[in-house]
Copies of this chain bind each other. A is one copy, B any other.
Amino acid sequence: MSQTPSPGPAGSSQLIRQLNAQRVLGCMWGREPSTATELMHATGLTRATVLTLCRDLTEQGWLQVSENSRQAGQYTKGRPALRYAFREDACHVIGVDAGLHQVTAAVANLRGVEIGCATRPSNPEGSEAPLQPAPERRRTILDTIDAALAQADLTHADVACLVIAVPAPVDSSGDSPKGLNAFWGLMNPELISLGAEHGWDCAVDNDANLAALAELDLGSGAAEDSFAVILSGERLGAGLVMDGSLLHQSRGGIGELGMLDLVQGVESSNGLGWWARHLAREALKQAPGHAGPLGAVTPEEVTSEHVFAAAEQGDLLALEVIDQLADRLARICVVLAGLLDLDRILVSGAIAPALTDVAARAKHKLAQYLYAPWLRIEASALGADAVRRGAIRLAVDRIKDQALPGAPGA
A residues near B, CB below 8 A? 3, 5-7, 11-13, 15-16, 20, 40, 44-47, 180, 224, 226, 238, 242-243, 247-259, 261-265, 331, 334-336, 338-341, 369-371, 374
B16 touches A338 (CB 8 A): no
Partner of A259, one of B16, B249, B334: B334
Distance A380 CA – B45 CA, assembled complex (angstroms): 50
A259 to chain B: which residues have CB within 8 Å? 334-335, 338-339, 369-370
A82 CB to closest chain B CB, in angstroms?
A: 17
Could you say which residues of chain B place their CB within 8 Å of the CB of A371? 180
Q: Give 25 CB contacts A-B under 8 Å.
A: A3-B46, A7-B44, A12-B16, A12-B45, A13-B16, A16-B16, A224-B250, A226-B249, A251-B341, A251-B374, A253-B341, A254-B339, A254-B340, A255-B339, A256-B339, A256-B341, A258-B338, A258-B370, A259-B338, A262-B265, A262-B331, A262-B369, A335-B335, A335-B339, A339-B339
Of the candidates B6, B44, B251, which one forms a contact with A5 in the assembled complex, judged by CB atoms under 8 Å apart?
A: B44
The closest CB in chain B to the CB of A243 belongs to B249
Nearest CB of B to A393, in Å: 21
Total copies of this chain within the assembly: 2
List the B side residues contacting A45 at CB < 8 Å. 5, 12
Q: Which of B15, B256, B257, B341 is within 8 Å of A16, CB to CB?
A: B15
**B261, A369: Cβ atoms closer than 8 Å:** yes
Q: Which 8 pairs of residues, A with B, have the shortest CB-CB distance?
A: A259-B338, A253-B341, A254-B341, A249-B341, A259-B334, A259-B335, A262-B264, A5-B44
Please state if A247 and B242 are interface contacts (CB–CB under 8 Å).
yes
With beta carbons under 8 angstroms apart, the residue of B3, B249, B263, B336 that contacts A263 is: B263
CB <8 Å contact, B339 and A336: yes
Contacting residues, chain B, for A257 (C-beta < 8 A): 338-339
- Residue in A7, A16, A180, A338 with the greatest tally of chain B CB atoms within 10 Å: A338
Distance from A284 Cβ to chain B, minimum over Cβ atoms (Å): 29
Assembled-state Cα–Cα distance A180/B336 (Å): 20
> In whole angstroms, what is the CA distance A290 to B351 when docked?
59
- With A259-B339, A335-B335 given, can you name 13 additional A-B contacts, CB distance below 8 Å? A15-B16, A16-B16, A242-B249, A243-B249, A249-B341, A251-B374, A252-B341, A258-B370, A261-B369, A262-B263, A262-B369, A263-B263, A263-B335
How near does chain B come to A8, taking the closest CB pair, in angstroms? 12
Contact yes or no, A263 B264, CB < 8 A: yes
A339 to chain B, nearest CB (A): 6
**CA–CA, A155 to B47, complex, Å?**
50
